[in-house]
């Protein structure tokens, strides 16, 4: 009996698909990193709402809203960066290439330092002016 | 599963914060939109968590497990929540 050439085609397709997919551990790690970025963005959003709504008026009029706006912008950038990094890492994992070396955590750190310094300045200003 | 659940909780916490804010003054329907959106997205994220748990619990593991659609959905939801919340803030 001659062998059916199509009999193993389904199995060969499955094998090819399995070979093309990266190690599942890398996929899951990338997924967890993406979610961490999104949670950071949500934390920044909560901080923005808290600053605008719950913090009493500061020494400089409109400072709360400016600080809240800055935090909201940082939240948007953090969420966007997380999404872009996931996409870049996923592409690199599938192609077996190097992971992206963008200094996005440094950008976030700088943003948080700026916000912190502004907040400290406003609190000191409030304490001094009464 | 835990990461997705924690993300869902983060959405819920934002919804709670927005609700507390709204309860301090007169309650308007427009003011409750960001809180409602946060709660809906939290629920959807938790459903994604359950779906991922089911997918990753299969043996043998499925060939394709990359959560591309779920990632884009959650990313868009976060951005939308930020924009809606910012728009709902009093000037």
Domain locations in chain B? 2-88
CB contact (8 A) between residue A39 and residue B7? yes
**More confident call, A101 vs B83:** B83
Residues of chain A contacting B63 with CB distance shorter than 8 Å: 14, 17-18, 21
Closest CA to B44 of B66, B72, B21: B72
Cβ contact A60:A71 at 8 Å: no
Q: How far is CA A44 from CA A14, A100, B14, B80, in A?
A: 43, 24, 10, 14
Alpha carbons A10 and A38: distance in angstroms, whole number? 39
**More confident call, B27 vs A91:** A91
The structural domains of chain A, with segments of one domain joined by +, span: 23-129
- Flag whether pLDDT at A87 surpasses 60: yes
| pTM of the full structure | 0.82
Residues of chain A contacting B72 with CB distance shorter than 8 Å: 83
Using CB atoms, pick whichever of A38, A65, A83 lies closest to residue B7: A38
Structural tokens at position B25 = 């003054």
Residues 6+ apart with CB under 8 A from A120: none
Question: Nearest C-alpha of chain A: how many angstroms from B81?
Answer: 9
Residues of chain B contacting A49 with CB distance shorter than 8 Å: 14, 17-18, 21, 85, 89
CB contact (8 A) between residue B64 and residue A17? yes
Entry field: residues in chain A: 130
Query: Closest residue of B to A33, CA-based?
Result: B3
Q: ipTM score here?
A: 0.85
What are the pLDDT digits (tens) for B2-57?
Answer: 888 899 889 988 888 887 765 555 656 666 788 888 989 999 999 999 999 888 88
Angle between helices A63-95 and B68-88 (to 10 degrees): 170
């Amino acid at each position: 009996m001659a062998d059916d050439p199509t009999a193993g085609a389904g199995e060969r397709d499955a094998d090819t698909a399995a070979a093309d997919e990266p190690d599942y551990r890398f996929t899951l790690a990338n997924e967890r990193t993406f979610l961490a970025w999104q949670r950071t963005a949500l934390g920044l959003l909560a901080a923005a709402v808290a600053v605008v709504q719950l913090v009493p008026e500061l020494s400089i009029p409109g400072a709360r809203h400016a600080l809240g706006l800055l935090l909201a912008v940082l939240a948007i950038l953090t969420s966007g960066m997380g999404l872009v990094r996931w996409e870049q890492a996923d592409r690199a994992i599938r192609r077996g290439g190097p992971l992206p070396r963008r200094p996005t955590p440094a950008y976030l750190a700088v943003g948080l330092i700026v916000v912190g310094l502004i907040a400290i300045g406003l609190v000191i200003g409030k304490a001094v002016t009464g | 599963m835990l990461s997705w659940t924690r993300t869902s909780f983060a959405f819920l916490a934002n919804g709670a914060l927005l609700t507390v804010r709204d309860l301090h003054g007169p309650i308007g329907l427009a003011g409750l939109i960001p809180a409602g959106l946060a709660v809906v997205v939290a629920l959807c994220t938790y459903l994604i968590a359950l779906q991922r748990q089911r997918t990753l619990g299969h043996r043998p593991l499925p060939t394709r497990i990359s959560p591309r659609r779920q990632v884009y959905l959650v990313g868009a939801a976060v951005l939308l929540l930020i924009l809606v919340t910012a728009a709902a803030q009093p000037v």
